Structure 1
Amino acid sequence: MRAYLVRLISTPLWTAILTSGGNLLSRRAVMGSALALAAVPAYATKPRNNLRILKGIQYGTAERFRAPRAVPFDAKRLEKFIGFGPACPQPGGRYLPASEDCLYLNLWAPKAETSKPRPVMVYFHGGAYSTGSVSDPLNDGAALAQRGDVVVLTVNHRLNAFGYLYLPEQFPDSGNTGQLDLILALQWVQANISAFGGDRDNVTVFGQSGGGAKIATLMAMPAAKGLFHKAITMSGQQVTASGPLNAARRTQALLSRLEGADPATVSQAELVAALSAQDPILGGGVYMGPVLDMRNLHRHPFWPDAAPQSLHLPMMMGNTVLETRAFYAPNAKQLAGLDFSNLAQRIAPEMRIDAHPDWVVQEFRSKYPEAPPLELFHRIVTTARSWRGQVIQAEARAHAGAPAFVYQLDFEQAKHTDDIGLSFGTVPYATAAQRIMSLRVMDAFVRFARTGNPGWQPYSLDKRETMIFDNESRVVDNPRAWERELFARIPYIQPGT
């Protein structure tokens, strides 16, 4: 896959598009580009020698459960930064090598001279605070840096128990050390990005799923104030953080799995294995996430309102129209044998809110009379479980009169994670339509990073303006209004908190 991506964005036509700086949002341009891109031979290659690419820059180090410490950056030895640093140890072992020594970032910067510093875009990966790594090929920053003439960085940090296990008596910063890692990475950006042509006064953080939630949390953390100037969250919300009592219950569940062993000294493998402990609140594996510890996080990010310290920052937030298509395999127990007779039973535990499932199914069937059970399952669970937090955040910003721009990705019935490849220009085996959609999304993200406005009106409570990204992209007022209103009558508590 990686070889294909290099070939794709290195084709002469693709390179010309990436570096043109033109606007491809018009219908004529989209159609013309689609036809041209469809004709590009996949084997045409050209070195990406117009970018400075550094991978595996260590920005910090840390002892287990303690706040990180900065590592001096040796700008004279750039030749050593040629490979990704390790990912944080995590269940599944997908990203190797893995190590607690995982505080590394990666950088893509145009080499061309510029009359003024370039906007900086810093990406935090998803994985619900527990898994993930920016070494994933979807997070390659080359296409975005070239297309937008921006400096792109991606960041790894401590996850799961290494970053969020709450042990306040012995380790006062535990519970939020993963967040402190991100703050340290942003401090590295402030100290060093000018050397790569980046504007330290124009830093945009963006992240998908858990990455977006990390950003929402940073917007309420005093230590993060002033380190970034714009924020984009992609299918990632953090309305409330984990309360200290619930966090302590989760710690006890994990410690029980360790059978008396000291979490500060057990092996990485033992600590990862202990994450399979039953979560005392949600069930399933034990949840790890930021904690309202009154030391590093003094309030919930978006409850009872949007954190005042970040109201002056432009914010963009988006979701995909059918998020949950990514959460359930076709043969998952929730979907196997699904029909109208058991639809209510199947959605009940998946909505994550206490709503009468038969009533919910009846309402959705009345609005979508032709929809089969599988489509209704995803529409219902997406709205109740995934979209709800974003609506709350957008409304909180609107109530405060703060800039907030909202998008919804409808393209190809988009599911959770589909906007990652589109925003980076790394959609694997992309069709012509997907390439054009990727350019459209990248242009909006870059325009927001450059100006604080992606090209449409901010979200208001009167109109609820939302950009719908699709084959025919357009701004829609109050999309899915009745779905929002249906669930708005039921209290929402963010899962895990």
Structure 2
Amino acid sequence: MSDLVVTTSGTVRGVTAEKVCVYKGIPYGAPPVVGHNRFQPPRPVEPWEGVRDALEFGPTAPKAPYSAPLDRFIPEVEIPGDDILNLNVWAPSSGAGLPVMVFLHGGAFANGSSSVGGYDGSAFARDGVVLVSVNYRLGTDGFLYLGDGDHANLGLQDQVAALRWVQDNIAAFGGDPAQVTVFGESAGAMSIGMLLAMPSARGLFHRAILQSGAMQLTLSVQGARRIAENLAERLGVEPTRAALATVPMEQLVLAGQQLRSAISANPDPAVWGEAALNMVPFEPVIDGQIIPGPPMEHLDPTVDILVGTNTDEFDLYLVPTGALGVIDENLLTVAVGRYGVNAAGTIAAYRASRPNASPGQLLSAIQTDWFFRIPAIRLAESANPAWVYEFAWRPSTFDGRLGACHAAELPFVFDTLADKGFHPLLGTDLPQRLADTVHQAWISFATTGNPGWSPYTRESRTTMIFNTASATTNDPRATERELWTGHR
């Protein structure tokens, strides 16, 4: 493949090294954070003449830093500029009709970008896949709901625009637009859960991999309006697009960060609605149009699904912060009671299989199931076919107290163990054998529709456990799964 590729908007120049062609910062939508495009659905790119260099990552969506101490452990990149609707392509230097994988980054709908070093797509291109990674609007600009029709869920609309770009252009990079797998982690996976239910996304992808996220993180119209009104009140403006567009971006980002802190400090449902339970103020809204109704009721039945979680997801939020050792029996009981289950019975059931666990460790296990594992299982139960995995490898960091936490699978999926971005969290002794196994499963699923083990059914509940020695098991921790019957 030539370093020059003609897209529907103009010609881009990439660079080729070691049989991988890389094109960075290609715009798929007009700049959405300035002028008449502000708080509007994504609009087409203005075509350019001549050759546009695609040699550097494009601007990232405005965002506040991760809160301490996670800012030291989750890699983040900030690149200034207005042209934030951009994507990157890694492609084999030869070949046509190749499978395509489109990656949506995580970050609680308020952080993250596609330019993190650990998301380098070279290993996918090395193995015969065209890899696309996408930037989309975050926080207030991406997910603030103000009650006006097709202006809801702008960050998700950005993702749809990127997928349309893939349909129109990926053949020029050697990819097959009829063989597109979208995959994402955390908020990226939850975005895919919404895309599976959005009429505008139908036919734009054919397989989906959801890592540590499913269809669970949504707001009602009423809950989303509460968030918007509270934000506007903090800023001293009316809760309208016109008024909020006059607020400087730095001030708006700061107010959004303060809003998240306020919810954490006082998680009162009467004030915050659903966000009081999940602590995420800017998230997809069931608006009745872009997302027509409860996502599970609108699931696209034509898409093959691979979905999974990490064994100890919530360790990311409890171990580095030191909260794991502070939680006592009273705090454990209060926290679990908020999930609508019998707190005493649930805690006793989890303790039965973890007799030596501290209250903090029990809370991590219960929160992991409530927020991540059970929603993934609900999706797998509803999809046909679906495959399920659990990532169980534990790093040696934090004196061995950190389990298979949220985000731990990412460098293994991308086979980017040498990248230093995740080393503060996971250490440097990352098993290449595990990366080979996980990465190949993703490649296999994108290429054949099967990751290498049997599908998940209500009868078998086959689950691949990824670890230094990976193997399938049936219905792991069944007793704990059954506790959540009727929930989530």
When the two structures are superposed, what TM-score results if normalisation uses the length of structure 2? 0.82
8 Å CA contact 2:147, 2:225 repeated in 1:
no
Please give the per-residue CA displacement for 1:93-132, whole angstroms capped at 9, x wherever unaligned.
75322455310100100102x3x41100000000121111
Please give the per-residue CA displacement for 1:200-236, whole angstroms capped at 9, x wherever unaligned.
1101100000000001101111111111111000001
Q: What pairs up with 1:35-434 in 2 under 5 angstroms? A: 48-61=17-30, 62=32, 63-71=37-45, 77=51, 80-92=53-65, 94-112=76-94, 114=95, 116-146=96-126, 148-169=127-148, 172-239=149-216, 241-260=218-237, 262-275=243-256, 276-277=258-259, 278-279=262-263, 280-281=272-273, 282-283=275-276, 287-302=281-296, 305=297, 307-308=298-299, 310-332=300-322, 334-338=323-327, 342-346=328-332, 348-349=334-335, 353-397=339-383, 402-412=384-394, 413-427=403-417, 428=419, 434=431
Identity value in percent: 34
1:158 partner amino acid: R
When the two structures are superposed, what TM-score results if normalisation uses the length of structure 1? 0.81
User: Aligned partners of 2:119, 2:382: CA distance in 1, in Å?
Assistant: 30
TM superposition shift of 1:75: 9.5
TM superposition shift of 1:180: 0.8
8 Å CA contact 1:100, 1:162 repeated in 2:
no
8 Å CA contact 1:240, 1:301 repeated in 2:
no
1:197–1:286 CA distance, 2 compared to 1 (3 A): closer
8 Å CA contact 2:336, 2:363 repeated in 1:
no
User: Aligned partners of 2:103, 2:311: CA distance in 1, in Å?
Assistant: 22
RMSD after superposition: 2.3
1:440–1:50 CA distance, 2 compared to 1 (3 A): same
Name the stretch that deviates more: 133-142 or 381-390: 381-390
State the secondary structure of the residue aligned to 1:204: strand
8 Å CA contact 2:87, 2:133 repeated in 1:
yes
8 Å CA contact 2:28, 2:162 repeated in 1:
yes
State the secondary structure of the residue aligned to 2:64: coil
Matched, 1:468 2:468: no
TM superposition shift of 1:55: 0.7
State the secondary structure of the residue aligned to 2:88: strand
TM superposition shift of 1:257: 0.8
2:435 to 438, 450, 457: 438
State the secondary structure of the residue aligned to 2:107: coil
User: Aligned partners of 1:236, 1:142: CA distance in 2, in Å?
Assistant: 25
Name the stretch that deviates more: 262-271 or 322-331: 322-331
2:19 partner amino acid: N
User: Aligned partners of 1:161, 1:359: CA distance in 2, in Å?
Assistant: 39
8 Å CA contact 1:230, 1:313 repeated in 2:
yes
Q: Give ranges in structure 2 of 5+ residues lacking alignment.
A: 1-15, 67-75, 264-271, 395-402
TM superposition shift of 1:374: 4.3
User: Aligned partners of 2:116, 2:437: CA distance in 1, in Å?
Assistant: 22
8 Å CA contact 2:387, 2:455 repeated in 1:
yes
1:58–1:352 CA distance, 2 compared to 1 (3 A): farther
1:83–1:452 CA distance, 2 compared to 1 (3 A): same
User: Aligned partners of 2:321, 2:313: CA distance in 1, in Å?
Assistant: 18
1:318–1:134 CA distance, 2 compared to 1 (3 A): same
8 Å CA contact 1:175, 1:289 repeated in 2:
no
1:217–1:118 CA distance, 2 compared to 1 (3 A): same
1:174–1:364 CA distance, 2 compared to 1 (3 A): same
1:293–1:468 CA distance, 2 compared to 1 (3 A): same
User: Aligned partners of 1:111, 1:230: CA distance in 2, in Å?
Assistant: 24
8 Å CA contact 1:204, 1:230 repeated in 2:
yes
Identify the residue that residue 7 of structure 2 maps to in structure 1. none
TM superposition shift of 1:335: 2.3
User: Aligned partners of 1:82, 1:98: CA distance in 2, in Å?
Assistant: 16
1:470 partner amino acid: N
8 Å CA contact 2:214, 2:379 repeated in 1:
yes
User: Aligned partners of 1:286, 1:365: CA distance in 2, in Å?
Assistant: 28
State the secondary structure of the residue aligned to 2:190: helix
8 Å CA contact 1:237, 1:390 repeated in 2:
yes
1:191 partner amino acid: D
Please give the per-residue CA displacement for 1:412-441, whole angstroms capped at 9, x wherever unaligned.
242110111111011246867621111111
TM superposition shift of 1:197: 0.5
User: Aligned partners of 2:48, 2:22: CA distance in 1, in Å?
Assistant: 15
State the secondary structure of the residue aligned to 2:17: coil
User: Aligned partners of 2:147, 2:474: CA distance in 1, in Å?
Assistant: 46
Please give the per-residue CA displacement for 1:237-276, whole angstroms capped at 9, x wherever unaligned.
1236321111111110111111126202211112112212
TM superposition shift of 1:470: 1.3
State the secondary structure of the residue aligned to 2:77: coil
State the secondary structure of the residue aligned to 1:323: coil
Number of aligned residue pairs = 427
